[in-house]
Amino acid sequence: MSRRCELTGKGPMSGNNVSHAHNKTRRRFLPNLTETALMSESLGRTFRLRVSSAALRTVDHRGGLDAYLMKAKDVELSANALKIKKEIVKAQAAA
């Protein structure tokens, strides 16, 4: 499993640890990822995704997984999230 958010594409960043003596050593900043189950209202089922905490807040703000995926750019989404988005589009077109 890569350390990348499936909805936002947020991944590890690099920077420096800076000591009191101002010595710099390289370090990694990892995203705050959690494995969560998100409910799709149009499909009526849950999906398990590895998502950052910031993405969870955004999903909640936009009104759920369906609304988030409709507004999200395809480039940022993982292959799994893109598959879910296509299923949602198909379900909404049928309804």
| 47 contacts 35 by C-beta, under 8 angstroms | no
Element at 66 (helix H, strand E):
helix 65-71
The average pLDDT across 15-41 equals 97
Task: For residue range 35-93, list pLDDT tens digits in order.
Answer: 999 999 999 999 999 999 999 999 999 999 999 999 999 999 999 999 999 999 999 99
pTM: 0.87
